[in-house]
């Protein structure tokens, strides 16, 4: 604990030291130094109120220059000589370094976004501690110790503050995002901390502070995507509690995906409403989240966490609409893969913390039949969803009974039971799971295919200017482990192909084609030959394309 606090103090005063932060403590730049500032102030407070007062005063430095931003909301403190100097480039010859010009522009636009458009309260006033009523921004050399710090002026439930950000973001420890893009997202992130300190400032709220500040980067600059690097630290441990991240650790930054989920699923204002409730209660207890969420979801936080877990499954190569807008860029959550053989009963058990989830995954592997799934938990409340993922469709069904039966399972690529703890506190809630395969559980509503054939595409002729795609449908009389569709010109030149992998024996498999070739260009008008290849068989049909 003493070492942790010492590192926190070291990082919080990095801009006052001539030596860089030792690399053994900071091999890469922290996303945000604010949690370490709060730890350092807690340590100073333990030494007595006078030591804390001196600590708070000495951390505001006197800079060589001051610039008031055009909006009048910010006072920017910066140097042009010495260790803390900003890059001297001044392309517009206005006497102000371009780095400071850009910082001023970004600061003013950030105020417009977060205060005027999203409706958050402005940060509390510092009553002129930095030389005026404006919010103070100190541009300093942070030596790669962090992208920025938001420094409270007091240890209290709410407090004024000031921000320190790096003077160039060129240190080698700014790896993922650096330079001017780092300046942009850091301002969006740290200014949101300044706003948060007007609602609830203590370090006990760190996970929610970092979750929403990292989310705010994406709101302000969706093209930069700095937040992506942290998601693996959250999605990679789905069994952990939503609020379990330690101050300054990557799990807290990765929890930005929860703020993104609330934004995209329920609307952007929900995060602000939660902050308002936290500000009134002066606590980040999840009961307060539940109270606010019930305004948009009557089932409360437990229902939301269940759906959140479903969204988190459909990322990367599992991505499907209508889940995360950038879900194809996210890492995948780990699954507990259940191997079901013959008619033997397969059993599994694991534990998750409150709000955590487990993903139990089965792959039919083209075997006809079905499966009975049984889930039992001897403690706590749970939300369970059954995901039926087919080649061209998905179904996410809420499961209320302990046992669920899946018939005709070979029509699906995978079957996933997502179990989420609906508790708000507590650790290691245990569950028990069994699965039993039954070859007699075929789907009575799924007629068998009489032959392997390609059906007429629809619409035909296909007019790309009028239709977004044409549907390529086919039946399989037998299961196929290697399935491929390919399109050729009249003279045999390959235009487009798609490897469909394993497909079950059934009617009406389907693929959508948008009229583009392998390079993404629309094909010319004409007659094309469509070829279906399966294990040992082939079928073909012609397609007419008309370019208007």
353 and 250: one domain? no
Kindly state whether residue 464 falls inside one of the protein's structural domains. Answer: yes
**pLDDT computed for residue 367 by the predictor:** 76
User: Which one, of 144, 203, 164, lies nearest residue 60 by Cα?
Assistant: 164
Looking at the DSSP bridge assignments, the partners of residue 387 are: 396, 416
Q: In the 3-class helix/strand/coil scheme, how is 353-411 assigned residue by residue? A: CCCCEEEEEECCCCCCCEEEEEEECCCCCEEEEEEEECCCCEEEEEECCCEEEECCHHH
Contacts of 484 (CB under 8 A, 6+ apart): 497, 498, 499, 500, 531, 532, 533, 534
CA 87 to chain centre: 33
- DSSP 8-state code for residue 307: H
Does the pLDDT at position 13 exceed 60? no
341 and 307: one domain? no
**pLDDT computed for residue 27 by the predictor:** 39
Contact 33, 11 (CB under 8 A): yes
88 and 54: one domain? yes
Contact 220, 268 (CB under 8 A): no
508 and 392: one domain? no
CA dist 59 and 17 (Å) reads: 12
Q: Which CA distances in Å does 495 have to 450, 521, 528, 547?
A: 30, 10, 9, 16
Contact 254, 280 (CB under 8 A): no
Tokens of 115: 């205060």
What are the strands of the beta sheet with 470-475, ordered from one edge? Answer: 453-454, 470-475, 509-513
CA dist 199 and 124 (Å) reads: 9
40 and 17: one domain? yes
Contact 72, 134 (CB under 8 A): yes
**pLDDT computed for residue 39 by the predictor:** 60
Selection from 23-27, 194-198, 510-514, 531-535 with the highest mean pLDDT: 194-198
- CATH number of the domain to which 426 belongs: 2.60.120.1050
Tokens 């039971």 sit on residue: 417
**pLDDT computed for residue 22 by the predictor:** 32
317 and 206: one domain? yes
Does the pLDDT at position 53 exceed 60? no
19 and 130: one domain? yes
Name the pTM for this structure.
Answer: 0.79
SS3 113: helix
Kindly state whether residue 448 falls inside one of the protein's structural domains. Answer: no
Average pLDDT (418-446) is: 90
CA dist 443 and 168 (Å) reads: 63
Domain boundary pick from 287, 304, 328: 328
**pLDDT computed for residue 481 by the predictor:** 86
Give per-residue pLDDT as tens, 220-234: 999 999 999 999 999
Average pLDDT (290-301) is: 97
Average pLDDT (264-289) is: 98
Average pLDDT (402-421) is: 93
| DSSP H or E run through 74 | strand 74-78
Tokens of 204: 């006990």
**pLDDT computed for residue 31 by the predictor:** 59
267 and 185: one domain? yes
CA dist 218 and 188 (Å) reads: 9
Contacts of 538 (CB under 8 A, 6+ apart): 531, 532
Selection from 361-365, 439-443, 494-498 with the highest mean pLDDT: 494-498
Residue 297: half-sphere exposure toward Cβ, Cα within 13 Å: 18
Domain boundary pick from 297, 328, 359: 328
389 and 470: one domain? no
Kindly state whether residue 230 falls inside one of the protein's structural domains. Answer: yes
282-300 in b/e form (b: 16+ CB < 10 A) is ebbebebbbbbbeeebeeb
Give per-residue pLDDT as tens, 337-367: 998 876 678 999 999 999 999 999 999 877 7
pLDDT category at 59 given cuts 50, 70, 90 is low
Tokens of 313: 């499954």
Higher pLDDT, 73 or 50: 73
- Give counts: helices (H), strands (E), the chain: 12, 21
494 and 380: one domain? no
| DSSP H or E run through 359 | strand 357-362
Q: Looking at 150-154, 304-308, 503-507, which range is the least confident one?
A: 503-507
Does the pLDDT at position 539 exceed 60? yes
Tell me which residue range forms the domain holding 511. Answer: 453-545
State the average pLDDT for the chain.
Answer: 88
Does the pLDDT at position 404 exceed 90? yes
Q: Say how many C-beta atoms besides its own lie within 10 A of residue 92's C-beta.
A: 9
Kindly state whether residue 445 falls inside one of the protein's structural domains. Answer: no
Kindly state whether residue 357 falls inside one of the protein's structural domains. Answer: yes
| DSSP H or E run through 187 | helix 179-196
Higher pLDDT, 24 or 239: 239
Give per-residue pLDDT as tens, 101-137: 999 999 999 999 999 999 999 999 999 999 999 999 9
374 and 462: one domain? no
Does the pLDDT at position 43 exceed 70? no
Give per-residue pLDDT as tens, 63-84: 999 999 999 999 999 999 999 9
CA dist 61 and 197 (Å) reads: 21
Kindly state whether residue 380 falls inside one of the protein's structural domains. Answer: yes
- DSSP 8-state code for residue 332: P
**pLDDT computed for residue 7 by the predictor:** 31
Does the pLDDT at position 5 exceed 60? no
Domain count, the chain: 3
Tokens of 538: 């082939």
- CATH number of the domain to which 503 belongs: 2.60.40.4070
The backbone torsions φ and ψ at residue 201, rounded to the nearest 5 degrees and listed phi first, read -100, -25
Q: Is 226 exposed, middle or buried (0-12, 13-18, 19+ CB in 10 A)?
A: buried
15 and 74: one domain? yes
What are the strands of the beta sheet with 336-337, ordered from one edge? Answer: 336-337, 357-362, 414-421, 382-389, 394-399
Kindly state whether residue 443 falls inside one of the protein's structural domains. Answer: no
Tokens 């487990």 sit on residue: 358
**pLDDT computed for residue 17 by the predictor:** 36
Higher pLDDT, 25 or 541: 541
Looking at the DSSP bridge assignments, the partners of residue 488 are: 494, 529
Average pLDDT (471-480) is: 87
Average pLDDT (437-459) is: 80
Kindly state whether residue 446 falls inside one of the protein's structural domains. Answer: no
Domain boundary pick from 328, 363, 379: 328
Q: Say how many C-beta atoms besides its own lie within 10 A of residue 3's C-beta.
A: 8
Does the pLDDT at position 21 exceed 50? no
pLDDT category at 247 given cuts 50, 70, 90 is confident
**pLDDT computed for residue 51 by the predictor:** 47
**pLDDT computed for residue 446 by the predictor:** 66
Q: What is the CA radius of gyration of the chain?
A: 29
454-465 in b/e form (b: 16+ CB < 10 A) is bbebeeeebbbe
369-390 in b/e form (b: 16+ CB < 10 A) is bbbbbbbebeeeebbbbbbbbe
The backbone torsions φ and ψ at residue 166, rounded to the nearest 5 degrees and listed phi first, read -70, 155
Give per-residue pLDDT as tens, 522-531: 999 999 999 9
Q: Which CA distances in Å does 42 have to 33, 35, 153, 203, 287?
A: 14, 11, 13, 9, 26
């Amino acid at each position: 604990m003493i070492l942790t606090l010492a590192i926190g103090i070291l990082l919080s005063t990095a801009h006052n030291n001539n030596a860089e932060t030792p690399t053994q403590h900071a091999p890469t730049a922290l996303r945000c130094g604010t949690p370490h500032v709060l730890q350092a102030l807690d340590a100073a407070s333990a030494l007595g109120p006078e030591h804390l007062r001196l600590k708070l005063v000495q951390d505001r430095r006197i800079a060589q220059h001051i610039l008031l931003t055009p909006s009048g909301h910010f006072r920017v403190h910066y140097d042009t000589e010495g260790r803390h100097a900003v890059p001297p480039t001044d392309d517009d010859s206005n006497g102000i370094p371009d780095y400071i010009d850009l910082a001023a522009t970004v600061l003013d636009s950030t105020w417009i976004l977060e205060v005027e458009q999203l409706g958050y309260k402005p940060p509390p006033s510092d009553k002129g501690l930095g030389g005026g009523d404006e919010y103070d921004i100190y541009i300093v050399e942070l030596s790669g110790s962090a992208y920025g710090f938001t420094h409270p002026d007091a240890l209290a439930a709410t407090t004024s503050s000031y921000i320190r950000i790096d003077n160039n973001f060129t240190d080698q420890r700014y790896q993922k995002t650096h330079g001017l893009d780092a300046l942009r997202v850091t301002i969006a992130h740290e200014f949101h901390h300044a706003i948060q300190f007007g609602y609830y400032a203590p370090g006990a709220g760190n996970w929610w502070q970092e979750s929403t500040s990292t989310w705010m980067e994406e709101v302000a600059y969706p093209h930069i995507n700095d937040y992506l690097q942290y998601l693996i630290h959250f999605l990679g441990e789905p069994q952990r509690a939503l609020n379990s991240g330690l101050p300054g650790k990557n799990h807290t930054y990765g929890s930005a995906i929860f703020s993104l989920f609330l934004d995209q699923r329920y609307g952007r204002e929900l995060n602000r409403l939660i902050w308002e409730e936290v500000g009134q209660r002066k606590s980040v207890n999840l009961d307060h989240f539940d109270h606010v969420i019930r305004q948009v979801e009557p089932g409360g936080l437990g229902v939301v966490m269940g759906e959140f877990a479903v969204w988190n499954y459909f990322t990367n190569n599992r991505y499907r609409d209508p889940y995360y807008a950038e879900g194809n860029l996210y890492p995948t959550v780990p699954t507990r893969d259940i191997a079901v053989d013959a008619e033997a009963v397969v059993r599994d058990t694991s534990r998750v913390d409150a709000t955590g989830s487990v993903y139990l995954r089965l792959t039919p592997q083209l075997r006809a039949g079905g499966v009975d799934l049984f889930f039992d938990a001897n403690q706590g409340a749970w939300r369970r969803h059954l995901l039926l993922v087919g080649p061209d469709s998905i179904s996410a069904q809420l499961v209320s009974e302990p046992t669920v039966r899946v018939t005709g399972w070979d029509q699906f690529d995978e079957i996933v039971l997502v179990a989420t703890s609906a508790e708000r506190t507590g650790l290691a809630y245990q569950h028990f799971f069994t699965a039993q395969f039954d070859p007699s559980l075929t789907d009575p509503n799924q007629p068998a295919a009489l032959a392997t054939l390609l059906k007429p595409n629809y619409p035909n002729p296909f007019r790309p200017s009028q239709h977004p795609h044409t549907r390529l449908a086919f039946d399989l009389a037998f299961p196929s482990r290697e399935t491929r569709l390919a399109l050729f010109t009249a003279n045999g030149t390959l235009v487009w192909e798609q490897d469909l992998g394993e497909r079950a024996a059934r009617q009406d498999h389907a693929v959508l084609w948008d009229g583009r070739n392998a390079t993404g260009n629309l094909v010319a008008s004409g007659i094309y030959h469509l070829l279906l290849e399966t294990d040992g068989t082939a079928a073909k049909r012609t397609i007419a394309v008309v370019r208007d």
